[in-house]
Amino acid sequence: MSPRHLIAISFLALLIACGDAPTSTSQDPAPQAATPTLDLDHPANYSRPSWPVHYDARVLLQDNTPDTNVITDRGATLGRVLFYDRRLSINDRVSCATCHVARQGFANDAKLSIGFDGVARTKAHAMRLANVRFYTPRMMFWDRRAPSLEAQAIQPIMDPVEMGFDPSHGGLDSLLGKVRALDYYPTLFAYAFGDPAISEARIQRALAQFVRGIVSLDSRFDQEFARAYDPMLANRGILKDFAGFTAQENRGKLLFILARASGGAGCGSCHEVPTFALTGSSRSIGLDEGETRVFKSPSLKNVAVTGPYMHDGRFATLAQVIEHYVNGIQEGPSLDERLRAPENGLPQRLPLTSADKAALVSFLKTLTDPTVMADPRFSDPFVP
């Protein structure tokens, strides 16, 4: 089949390639289309984002895309198919997108997601994915155990709870065998990489390209900052009142951005504006006494639509998250130094009023970006 056409492979051919389909149950998801629908003559634009003015050179320096895996439209197109393909789970029931739901900010509203068997739960809350490319240390997962997005990309597929291709189910060899047997993948791998060879490294690269392509650039915050942006100012105009914000939202913005010594809450020292990705120097936030793990959090873009919060989903609302910084920070070896009082090194609680806390919540809601959540480039290609 030529890659210069819409992909359309018969369901019968798919069954021949894959063997018998798994037995359906009342708990099974709706059947997935036999093949993805893609216009390979006109791939979507993933490689050339239209960066708004406030995504200036300083911001783009934070991009963690390696020289060995530069985003291409074709590579990200393949990554999109892999991301949504439930056949990459051992029983064809879940995909990456099952836990990272576009309309829920590429996360989901469960504390812990349900794995491929429909019963077991994952070990951590699904992270938001937008702006993952701006975390400069490149390490992924809440506990930072993967050194890069490429290394992270395939681990959920091979997890014994998430998608099931663990050693007891044949591991990598079984996964690669299944992918190679699906008629549309040789075409797509040739389209992305120049030849039809299917390997772990290529799956990792394509998935990472797609996920890095998910950038949030069109929240109300972005729109207002672009209007106020002034490259001649040291703060680039971020401290101006935004004309389209309410007084409460502008107050929340200042609290978020300004350091504590300047009357703010200092949130921006860890969550960098305008990507709201975590700074590379950030550590843990004292969720539990004696915590030794150093956590990574996702960008705060779309945070208002992606509760519950934290690695274990312990907080149901943004108000509860903010209350943690007011009254809940616990001592531990991994606590970020910015959360310690300079005078004695003890955990520092924010002296926020009720009005301050409400203002911060209002500001965080301005980071919601409906555009990226509804963008066809990041939608399910298996939906007709």
Say what the pLDDT of residue 215 is.
Answer: 98
pLDDT at 30: 80
Confidence (pLDDT) at 28: 60
- Give the pLDDT score at 132: 98
**CATH homologous superfamily of 220-368:** Cytochrome c-like domain (1.10.760.10)
- Which sequence spans correspond to the domains of the chain? 11-216, 220-368
Three-class SS of residue 207? helix
Question: 11-216, superfamily in CATH?
Answer: Cytochrome c-like domain (1.10.760.10)
Alpha carbon distance 238, 228 (integer Å):
7
Helices 184-193 and 200-212: angle between axes, nearest 10 degrees: 70
Sign of CA dihedral 107, 109, 110, 115: negative
- Taking alpha carbons only, the member of 41, 69, 42 closest to residue 212 is 69
CATH topology agreement for domains 11-216 and 220-368: yes
| 368 within 8 A of 302, measured Cβ to Cβ | yes
Sign of CA dihedral 166, 172, 177, 183: positive
pLDDT the model gives residue 9: 36
Which stretches of the chain drop beneath a pLDDT of 50?
1-26
Please state the pTM of the whole predicted model.
Answer: 0.91
pLDDT, position 21? 34
